[in-house]
Homo-oligomer: A and B are copies of this chain.
């Protein structure tokens, strides 16, 4: 049986993403959750259960390890709270588990919050520092995120004969979109010259190919689909909910990997499309938020999601198809590139952006007549991917 049409989103909220030095972890949760409560027109006392998505509690003064961190922040003591973590797909997987609980009929209305505090720590204490020092048997020491995704870019460049100018177009598009988003970490356009002159991080990925480390929280209130109209004039319905981990942590060390695609995205998308009844995603999806942790990830993701064929990603960006005024706008929020990537929060921020788009509330970023949207959230080097399809009816 599928999740289709069993669950509705009735409210979303988010803090501004950025260096939120004046807000602690709990402050951010309060801001995001109360915005979602107001949007859903529910009071906290109506929430029957909740899910918290935080990936690295250590980065946030040890908060976010358990549901208690959400309970304390919101005085949400009557709702049982779970914490879910799944690398950078933490936010969407928290949402997925909440959807199952609602679809099971056990709860009518629940809250999902993603939050991550990433700027209040020294580099050595940070995620990057941890990863760099870890003795993880697959990743090994020093294999950081830019280093891993640079392998994909190098291989993609070689295979399809493109160069950094193509990645620059992804970066410039997302910075352009981000300049229209008052909650983005970076709200500024960039030029090709700036892109090319910026320091290299992990060749061929430069500074503007990488999303920043950012503080933020985002939230959604969801309920049983058959009750949605009692809460909201404009509920959104969950049509498909895919999660896949077909290569685990081993992509970079798997001799079968082609290094030009993420199998996890293909499989999660297929699950979500099957549930939603989508045959041609390019024609049937109106707007998408995809996981541009690095510019190369967005390029590959166009192809893996079936928005275009393998190797056509460069044309997709060249022709402006994924721009705000294109045929299938991608990352209208500015993406991770402009918004930043507070890990647990990103998936829920994306869900919020698509919700705003499908309700016609995206302001200067509005995609006209958007009725069906997609969220794509990727963790590890394609270790786990979540694809969610939402629609207004």
Contacts and interface: CB of A to CB of B under 8 A. Distances in A.
A228 interface: no
Contacts of A130: 58, 62
Contact of A66 (B26, B80, B384): B384
A105 B103 contact: yes
A277 B2 CA distance: 30
B136 A68 contact: no
A82 B86 contact: yes
Interface stretch (A161-169, A180-188, A238-246, A349-357): A238-246
A135 interface: yes
Interface in A66-105: 66-69, 71-72, 77-87, 89, 93, 96-97, 99-101, 103-105
A248 interface: yes
Contacts of A93: 67, 82-83
Given A100-B106, A104-B6, A247 B77 contact: yes
Interface residues of A, number: 63
A55 interface: yes
A288 B269 CA distance: 43
A3 B245 contact: no
Name which of A1, A24, A77, A79 has the most chain B CB atoms within 10 A of its CB.
A77
Interface in A89-148: 89, 93, 96-97, 99-101, 103-106, 130-131, 134-139
Contacts of A105: 1, 103-104
Interface string A188-218: 0000000000000000000000000000000
B243 A82 contact: yes
A310 interface: no
Nearest to A57: B85
Contacts of A248: 68-69, 71-72, 77
A318 interface: no
How many copies of this chain are found per oligomer? 2
Given A83-B84, A96-B82, A104-B100, A61 B245 contact: no
Nearest to A88: B66
A62 to B, nearest CB: 4
A80 B89 CA distance: 12
A317 to B, nearest CB: 29
A66 B86 CA distance: 4
Given A62-B136, A63-B137, A97-B100, A72 B249 contact: yes
A47 to B, nearest CB: 13
A242 B82 CA distance: 12
Contacts of A62: 130-131, 134-136, 139
5 contacts: A62-B134, A66-B86, A66-B87, A66-B379, A68-B249
Interface of A: 1-3, 6, 24, 26, 55, 58, 61-63, 65-69, 71-72, 77-87, 89, 93, 96-97, 99-101, 103-106, 130-131, 134-139, 242-250, 268, 271, 379-380, 383-384
